[in-house]
Structure 1
Amino acid sequence: MAESEVVIDVSENNTPAPTQSQDVDMGGQDESTQPENSAAPSTEQQDEPTGLENIEPELPTRVTFLDYLKSPIVELAVGQGEDITVLHAHQRLLEQSPYLEEKIFALGEGETRRIDLADEDLTATACFLEFLYKNDYFPTLNNSSLETDPDIPVPDSEGMALLRHARVYTLAQRFGVPALATLAHKKIHLTNSTARGEIEYARYVYGHTATTDESIRKPVAAFWATRSHVLRHEAEREFRSMCLEFPQFGFDVLSLVLDAQEKRTQRTETTIGGGRKRPRVSAV
């Protein structure tokens, strides 16, 4: 019978040698172990903002012209009675106008996508739609001049060209499209006309724009205030009729004339009790 094998422990201080199942500490803790009294970060701590979330803000999605063309077609019924003309345009283009966007939003589900514009001018509405698609309207703007319109007579004694741009301007104001209003206003100042044509234009402006809209009213009054010689020789009767029809126009012109006269004369006047003192005529 063989004797049992004796295993002699030769480790220092009789410390049991590590077995293969034990981990040896080589100067640091095992990664899988946690210090005593320590806990893993909670889910709430991990979700706390670090301040780095908004370094790259989201950019708005670019709307392409193809997106406009994919939108539904909306009918615009311009005019009244037998004179109604139906125009068509893409919805997303029309929604650039807050006025039309509100009307489109009010359309019920299943209804014909149709907006009635009974009081609008057909030509001005067509110019508005042309601007939505082309960012301009006929006659187009070429640097500092306008394209020639063969339908406008020369001389333009009725102010047809001025009236067209004026109608586009007022429609753009109602529809809330300031870029179109600015373009129409610029074309007004590049349009040639006659004294009678300017009177027709002035009559339209004072009849269809707000009294506070000095951007278009003031140039009209200034035009006539600086051209009194034209009034006497070319359009005195029309000018008189205009002043009687729109007293505000006459007042605006007179105010500018008086302001210019005061700057020219630069007379020194004394005031007593809030009133102007007339020069005394010496008695001989």
Structure 2
Amino acid sequence: MASEFTEDVPSEEQPAAPTADVEMAEGAEGEEGGDNANNSELPYAEGGDVEPRTSFISYLTSPVVTMIVGSGGNETILTAHQALLAQSPYFAEACAAFSDDGSPRQIELASDETDSVGCFLEYLYTGDYFPKKLPGQRVLETDPALPSVDESGDQLLNHARVYTLAEKFGVEKLKSLATSKIHCVNSTAKGEIAYARYVYAYTNKDDTSIRAPVANFWATRSHTLRAEAEEEFRALCLEYPQFGYDVLTRVLDEKLKRESQSRLHPAPGSGRKRPRHSQI
């Protein structure tokens, strides 16, 4: 919105001459301004201090941390620079226990999957992970190794696992990124059921950012998609009653919304009429 300017209207009364106290106050402000200039403080910076930019080389010169991912003989060893890992509250706490006596800097991630941790590390180093979203489009990069339609739900599950890992590690921006990629996957009813089962198994019931879209999807499409995977849909509802309840709640809410709108804006001739009696 454009700012409105008003011109000063001359007044017949002349303002009183500034007192010494005012002059002292103005002088003090001027001195503060000089100090701020010397301290390179910006007037719009909260607290007066501007944090210096952290160079990428400083991340790369930090100690290397070893991560053992997986368990039961399927462990994978990954490494990353400590300064990058410490951006995560989870790893910052773990790295705080390391000493500088030359002992190994090692973290065990027994319950996590290698591919998901790999996506997490790729995000730390590059700010994104494969496949990336195409600029200005709701489409992901093409991976020749993957089918164009996610029939099994594997592609959805890949991003869902990145989401839950970002939740565990406390990286909110990665959670948002994973969610945005989930909505770019072209899947089938069975793929969506596999994804819904994972979401309701591994996310908190109060996490509406990922659960609500799942329930909304099935509430608006279950009448058409159920025929493609009716047994799987039924099994999912029985296995996770909260899923069935969330879907049913949205179906009923939408029904009430339509009824409310029809009462406010009744269609012509929609009123109830007395039945006609046939005359013989």
Same fold (TM over 0.5): yes
RMSD: 1.6
TM superposition score normalised by structure 2: 0.74
Residues of 2 paired with 1:59 and 1:156: CA distance? 47
| Counterpart in the other structure of 2:134 | 142
The alignment partner of 1:110 has SS state of: coil
Residues of 1 paired with 2:149 and 2:127: CA distance? 29
| Counterpart in the other structure of 1:97 | 88
Deviations 1:185-237 (A, max 9, x none): 00001111000000000000011111111010000000000012234310111
Match for residue 51 of structure 2 among 57, 60, 63: 60
Match for residue 63 of structure 2 among 41, 55, 72: 72
| Counterpart in the other structure of 1:131 | 123
Alignment pair present for 1:165 and 2:156: no
The alignment partner of 2:118 has SS state of: helix
The answer (yes or no) to whether the contact 2:189–2:226 under 8 Å persists in 1 is no
Match for residue 111 of structure 1 among 103, 111, 117: 103
TM superposition score normalised by structure 1: 0.73
Deviation at 1:156, TM superposition (A): 1.9
The alignment partner of 2:166 has SS state of: helix
The answer (yes or no) to whether the contact 2:64–2:82 under 8 Å persists in 1 is yes
AA paired with 2:127?
N
Please list, as runs of the form range in 1=range in 2, the aligned pairs for 1:255-266 lying within 5 A after superposition: 255-266=249-260
Deviation at 1:82, TM superposition (A): 1.2
Deviation at 1:53, TM superposition (A): 3.3
Residues of 2 paired with 1:224 and 1:101: CA distance? 39
The answer (yes or no) to whether the contact 1:155–1:194 under 8 Å persists in 2 is yes
The answer (yes or no) to whether the contact 2:226–2:233 under 8 Å persists in 1 is no
The alignment partner of 1:82 has SS state of: coil
The answer (yes or no) to whether the contact 2:189–2:228 under 8 Å persists in 1 is yes
Residues of 2 paired with 1:128 and 1:62: CA distance? 23
| Counterpart in the other structure of 1:13 | none
AA paired with 1:111?
S
Stretches of 4+ moved more than 4 A in 1?
none
What 5-or-longer segments of structure 1 have no aligned partner? Answer: 1-49, 269-284
Please list, as runs of the form range in 1=range in 2, the aligned pairs for 1:166-205 lying within 5 A after superposition: 166-205=160-199
AA paired with 2:91?
L
The answer (yes or no) to whether the contact 1:231–1:239 under 8 Å persists in 2 is no
Q: Which has the larger radius of gyration?
A: 1
The answer (yes or no) to whether the contact 1:199–1:239 under 8 Å persists in 2 is yes
Percent of pairs identical after alignment? 53
The alignment partner of 1:76 has SS state of: strand
Alignment pair present for 1:84 and 2:75: yes
The alignment partner of 1:83 has SS state of: coil
Higher helix share: 2
